């Protein structure tokens, strides 16, 4: 049982790792270290991987089960757990199990979200006591998108995406299509035709409708499956690319409208309907655990 995992090391504690959408993405420069300066807007959706954690007393960090194409030592959840142990001198360990729902290489941030959930969950389950700022600093070396998942708030992002300002956005329903291809982020950001000098904008410009994704022209040209998905989805509204893709999305006022469009999809297109969230489901799970821990400590 999930509740028992707070005090029982033989039980699994299950946590969500939600997807994100980049509602816009501008490349406004290139840094001396080769990384790009970006402007973007992150919003979560309630489509999630599910991660299970079972605390160990022997200090070992182990992955329970295989993740196709990802060696255990390279798995971001394992790396995140070890980073937290090292930063806090924690003597505990963990078994980590991942029920993978989000596609890999889709621009939904699945691996980054899994890493963030690992940091937030183990900080609670191990009792290491880091605050959000400390966890976000620990998250950044794992990936530029990991801090936004740790913070758990929709955000305006700058730098490589790590300078975050919380924002309140409409929370529509999204139809997200998952083309049957994997887009290489490195290939997109090194492509000679990528725009790297877009004029920076303000949040107000985004709110007024500037939702350009500078990666879109390159991805559309290089990945026909993405182009086909964008063309089909555009009949229902403004079809956008999240991150470097491959996933594309459109916003709908309600769930029924999004489902109606989804039901008319052509054969061979994968995807899902999900609700936009300004507050990550991860924070709700953390609040539940904190309540359980407080209750247990009050009874001790």
Active-site amino acid positions:
20, 145
Asked if residue 170 belongs to a known ligand binding site, the reply is no
Asked if residue 141 belongs to a known ligand binding site, the reply is no
What token pair was written down for 67?
């993740």
Asked if residue 254 belongs to a known ligand binding site, the reply is no
Distance (Å) of CA 182 to CA 107, 187, 219, 247, 296? 9, 11, 11, 9, 45
- Tell which residue, 194, 181, 178, has the closest CA to residue 38: 194
What token pair was written down for 18?
């939600």
In whole angstroms, what is the distance from residue 245 CA to residue 46 CA? 19
Asked if residue 106 belongs to a known ligand binding site, the reply is yes
In whole angstroms, what is the distance from residue 246 CA to residue 233 CA? 14
Asked if residue 152 belongs to a known ligand binding site, the reply is no
Question: Taking the chain, what is the end-to-end CA distance rounded to the nearest angstrom?
Answer: 21
26: left (phi over 0), alpha (psi -120 to 50) or beta: beta
**Residue 176: strand, helix, or coil:** strand
Rg of the Cα trace of the chain?
Answer: 20
Asked if residue 109 belongs to a known ligand binding site, the reply is yes
φ/ψ of residue 120, rounded to 5: -70, -45
Strands (E), the chain: 13-30, 36-56, 61-63, 93-99, 155-159, 163-166, 173-178, 240-241, 248-252, 270-277
Asked if residue 224 belongs to a known ligand binding site, the reply is no
Asked if residue 280 belongs to a known ligand binding site, the reply is no
- Half-sphere exposure (Cβ direction) of 232: Cα atoms closer than 13 Å: 22
In whole angstroms, what is the distance from residue 239 CA to residue 245 CA? 12
Asked if residue 112 belongs to a known ligand binding site, the reply is yes
- Tell which residue, 94, 83, 12, 15, has the closest CA to residue 55: 94
Binding-site residue numbers are 103-113
Summarize the annotated binding site for ATP as residue ranges.
103-113
């Amino acid at each position: 049982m999930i509740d028992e995992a707070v005090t029982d090391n033989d039980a699994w504690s299950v946590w969500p790792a939600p997807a994100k959408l980049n509602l816009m993405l501008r490349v406004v420069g290139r840094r001396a270290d080769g990384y790009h300066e970006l402007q973007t807007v992150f919003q979560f959706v309630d489509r999630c991987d599910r991660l299970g954690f079972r605390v160990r007393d022997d200090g070992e960090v182990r992955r329970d089960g295989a993740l196709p194409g990802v060696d255990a030592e390279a798995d971001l959840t394992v790396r995140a757990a070890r980073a937290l142990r090292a930063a806090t001198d924690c003597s505990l360990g963990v078994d980590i199990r991942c029920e993978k729902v989000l596609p890999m290489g889709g621009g939904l941030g699945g691996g980054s979200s899994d890493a963030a959930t690992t940091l937030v969950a183990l900080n609670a389950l191990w009792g290491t006591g880091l605050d959000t700022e400390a966890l976000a600093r620990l998250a950044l070396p794992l990936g530029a998108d990991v801090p936004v998942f740790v913070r758990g708030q929709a955000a305006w992002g700058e730098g490589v995406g790590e300078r975050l300002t919380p924002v309140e956005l409409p929370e529509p329903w999204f139809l997200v299509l998952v083309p049957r291809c994997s887009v290489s982020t490195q290939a997109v950001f090194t492509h000679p035709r990528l725009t790297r000098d877009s004029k920076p904008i303000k949040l107000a410009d985004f709110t007024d409708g500037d939702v350009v994704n500078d990666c879109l022209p390159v991805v559309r040209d290089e990945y026909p499956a993405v182009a086909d998905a964008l063309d089909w989805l555009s009949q229902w509204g403004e079809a956008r690319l999240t991150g470097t893709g491959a996933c594309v999305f459109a916003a709908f006022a309600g769930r029924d409208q999004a489902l109606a469009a989804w039901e008319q999809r052509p054969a061979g297109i994968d995807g899902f309907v999900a609700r936009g969230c300004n507050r990550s489901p991860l924070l709700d799970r953390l609040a539940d655990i904190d309540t359980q821990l407080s209750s247990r400590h009050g009874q001790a």
